[in-house]
Chains A and B, each alone.
Chain A
Amino acid sequence: MNTSALAAARLILARDLRLALRKRGQFVQPLAFFAIVTTLFPLSISPELARLREIASGVLWVAALLASLLALEFLFRDDAHDGTLEQYALSGQSLTWLVFAKTSAHWLLTGMPLALMAPLAGISLGVPYAALPGIILPIALGTLVLSLIGAISAALTLGVRRSGVLLTLLTLPLAMPVLIFGAQATDLAIRGASFAAPLYLLSAMAVLGVTLAPLAAAAAVRMSLE
């Protein structure tokens, strides 16, 4: 009996989570990077919470953006090397769907932990407790968009040796709207204002990403297999 699309996606999720457990280093690295960057700012600028609060949203977002870029390289690389992607393309399942499952697993392993860690970093930067949802929600949505955009560039650079720099160059310009609206949402939350407007924009980007990015990434994966 053939596996349903849903069961196939569940298998990919389960597989990637299990692999991440066995190779923790790869997934701890972006988180450690995020923690280091955000704790260096109070040391280098001033321990004064009022001043730190001013720059908190920028620090959190730049660190989150760079940390998720760092993780992108691992999205398809191993699977391309050992022929797993080839088997995905030949499995009789929709490659678009499998790529979407893979990208979701990647977000669960990088974006989600970042979103959960960010409030801690926020508190150390003087963000009031009431503003913490204004950190978690936008960063969770923003990293999802970054994973989706990044899946396209990661797939496009599969054939390139030492693809890290190219991957960053390809992804950064596309990631700018996420950074702008995400940082704005967090900033509004810290000032005690409503951050609904930029959050809606981020949600719109996430919807657009979920619908279109897997199609483009799957096409790029197919090209890399030629």
Chain B
Amino acid sequence: MSRRNIQAERLHLWRGERHVLAGIDLVVGAGEMLQVTGANGSGKTSLLRCLCGLMHLEDGRVLWQGSDVREDLPAFHAQMVYLGHEPPLKPDLTARENLHYWVGIRQHLSPAAVTAALKRVGAGTWAEQPVRTLSAGQKRRVALAGVILCGAPLWLLDEPATNLDAEGQNLVGSLIDEQLSSGGLVIAAVHQDLPVMSAAPRRLELAGT
């Protein structure tokens, strides 16, 4: 396995008059997790969106395995999965159909793999119901099943544990543990520490402006 790592150098982002990211540097290697913390509006989401190339940086660059991600964004995107605070699910499709169409665009999915992922996140019979009828926590679980199915080495998670009960929080923790032990990388924006067992996650505190 090649040494995976993501590196950011001097990230600067302005939103109007606000200097949201003022020279952020970070390095995350294989099997490591970085928790991004900070008050509301301190730029946690912006940082994640900059890392995955959705937002345009004023200055600085993001490196994946040592090369600038902007040189080949599609190749970088195939290596990562980003989960925003809204689960990207269609209310009129069932959980299973949602995963089929969402993750299917990236890679071939067997129905068995979808079943296994849904089981892993504790989905019961409600996996066959329209997502419209599910609770916020159940939707979050479906989104997490999508993240597992993508099977990407790099996870960028924005508040992965919101709306989840205590058992769900532990689920997020153990999913991240599995990802880390298989040599993956996780960068998560969080308010509270996630219950992660493996090596103490590093922390990046955003000061905000």
Interface on A for B, CB 8 Å cutoff?
Answer: 1-3, 7-8, 11-12, 14-15, 18-19, 22-23, 78, 82-84, 86-94, 98, 225-226
Contacts and interface: CB of A to CB of B under 8 A. Distances in A.
B45 to A, nearest CB: 12
B88 A86 contact: yes
Given A3-B108, A19-B92, A82-B88, A87 B80 contact: no
Nearest to A22: B92
Given A2-B107, A90-B82, A92-B75, A14 B88 contact: no
A84 B78 contact: no
A82 B89 contact: yes
Contact of B105 (A1, A8, A83, A86): A8
Given A15-B101, A19-B92, A86 B54 contact: yes
A94 B74 contact: yes
A88 B82 CA distance: 11
B64 interface: no
A14 B90 CA distance: 14
Given A18-B93, A83-B87, A92-B74, A11 B105 contact: yes
A3 B88 contact: no
13 contacts: A2-B108, A3-B105, A8-B104, A15-B97, A19-B93, A78-B90, A82-B87, A82-B91, A83-B86, A86-B88, A87-B105, A98-B105, A225-B54
B102 A84 contact: yes
Contacts of A87: 82, 88, 102, 105
Interface centre among A8, A12, A88, A91 (most CB of B within 10 A): A91
B204 interface: no
B136 to A, nearest CB: 13
Contact of B80 (A1, A18, A90, A225): A90
Interface in B39-68: 52-56
Contacts of A7: 104, 108
Contact of A86 (B82, B104, B106): B82
A84 B90 contact: yes
Given A14-B101, A98-B105, 17 more contacts: A2-B78, A3-B108, A8-B105, A15-B90, A19-B92, A82-B86, A82-B90, A83-B87, A86-B84, A87-B88, A90-B82, A91-B77, A91-B106, A92-B75, A93-B74, A226-B55, A226-B56
